[in-house]
Amino acid sequence: MFTPVGKDLPRPWNEGLIVGQKKPLQPKHVWSIRVRLEISSKWRDVALFNLAIDSKLRACDLVKLRLDEVCSGAKVRDRTTIVQKKTGETLEAVADRGYFSSLEILACHEAGITVTLPKPQTSGAKSDGRFGKQDFVYLPQEDAYRCPAGEQLPYRSTSDEDGKRLRRYWTTACQNCSLKSQCTTGPERRITRWEHEHLLEAVQQRLDANPQAMRQRRETVEHPFGTMKARMGATHFLTKTLPKVAAEMALSVLAYNLTRVMNIVGIKPLMAAIMA
């Protein structure tokens, strides 16, 4: 490699720094930090520290893991298969908008799984400066929608599309409405409502009530994949076909969970729990 003579080379950004994967906290470190904070009566810091430990190490609890498959797509129910042995409480799933699917949300509801995820904005009305569907208020007593101008859009017809029963709402008052240019480019504005639309509205209400849910999901869920990818050498899978790749991924997840459990509870308690 050619090196210019008499010129200063740029200093490496990691010179003198400790870089790479950091070692996880051992139980003695966790308790040492917690005791020091309690002795200093720093209760706010104790609460924040406990919250951080709970968020980062939640996957280390002794759980029953079943990896159905490794695939892409909006399969929230199939991926939400981690059931806690200790509590047996209703499972709650938090996913990003890429997993949003009306039918999957319905399936999760029927399976007793509470889902929280943002809905993707697929309509171009908002980007064009027009009213979106969220600006129309559903009136369950009248089975109609109220538009931003105050007019009601009554129920008109029902159709089946992609396995979903959809109800259509519109009104003929759009022709003389002063807000028509901000609402639609067609003769009238039509609103489509799924027969299980109340489930989608409940999902949005949960997200509005806890706007930090997606940030906590990223902090809790994303880092295990980075760790597993680093352990695998940041390369591709060694196998081919979906069943073999699923088995390889399952082994990586199992090794990750076992490592975290050993770091937290220790090897002897883990062996005792396995033998119990």
Q: What is the pLDDT of residues 20-29, one digit of tens each?
A: 656 667 777 7
Within-domain flag for 18: no
Q: Is residue 29 part of a domain?
A: yes
Say which range, 31-40, 66-75, 98-107, 126-135, has the weakest mean pLDDT: 66-75
pLDDT tens digits along 230-274: 877 767 788 888 888 888 888 888 888 888 888 888 888 888 888
Per-residue confidence band for 229, with pLDDT thresholds at 50, 70 and 90: confident
Which bin fits 225, alpha (ψ -120 to 50), beta or left (φ > 0)? alpha
The more confidently predicted of residues 250 and 221 is 250
76-90, 163-177, 248-262: range with lowest mean pLDDT: 76-90
Residue where one domain finishes, among candidates 165, 195, 225: 195
Whether 65 and 101 share a structural domain: yes
**Higher pLDDT pick, 73 / 273:** 273
* CB environment 72-108: b (16+ within 10 A), e (fewer): eebebbebbeeeeeeeeeebebbbeeebbbbebbbbb
- Contact between 100 and 120 under an 8 Å Cβ cutoff? The reply is yes
Q: Is residue 128 part of a domain?
A: no
CA distance 266 to 256: 14
Lowest mean pLDDT among 51-65, 185-199, 204-218: 51-65
Please determine, for residue 43, whether its predicted confidence score (pLDDT) is greater than 80: no
Based on the domain organization, do 164 and 264 belong to the same domain?
no
Position 223 scores a pLDDT of 76
**Range(s) of the domain holding residue 112:** 61-119+205-275
Q: Would 113 be classed as within a structural domain?
A: yes
pLDDT value for 69: 32
The answer to whether residues 191 and 141 belong to one domain is yes
Whether residues 114 and 213 fall in one domain: yes
pTM score, whole prediction: 0.55
The pLDDT-based confidence of 86 (bands split at 50, 70, 90) is very low
Last residue of one domain, picked from the residues 195, 222, 237: 195
147 plus 265 within the same structural domain: no
Burial of 174 (0-12, 13-18, 19+ CB in 10 A): buried
Overall domain count for the chain: 3
Amino acid at site 15: E
- Whether residue 19 is contained in a domain is answered as no
Query: Quick one: 255 and 212 in the same domain?
Result: yes
6 found inside a domain: no
Query: In the predicted model, what is the mean pLDDT of residues 194-215?
Result: 88
Residues 91 and 226 in one domain: yes
11 in any annotated domain: no
Please provide residue 32's backbone torsions phi and psi, each rounded to the nearest 5 degrees: -65, -45
pLDDT of the residue at 64 = 35
Residues 99 and 224 in one domain: yes
Judged against a pLDDT cut of 50, whether residue 67 lies above it is answered with: no
What are the structure tokens assigned to 137, written together?
A: 């208020």
Residue 13 covered by a domain: no
Per-residue pLDDT band for 119 (boundaries 50, 70, 90) equals: confident
Note whether 159 and 173 are same-domain residues.
yes
Are residue 114 and residue 218 in the same domain, yes or no?
yes
* 209 and 74 co-located in one domain: yes
Rounded to the nearest integer, the mean pLDDT of the chain is 76
Of 253, 201, 203, 217, the closest CA to residue 95 belongs to 217
> For residue 90, is pLDDT > 70?
no
pLDDT at residue 217 is higher than 60: yes
Are 242 and 209 within one domain? yes
- What pLDDT does 136 receive? 92
Answer whether residue 201 shows pLDDT above 60: yes
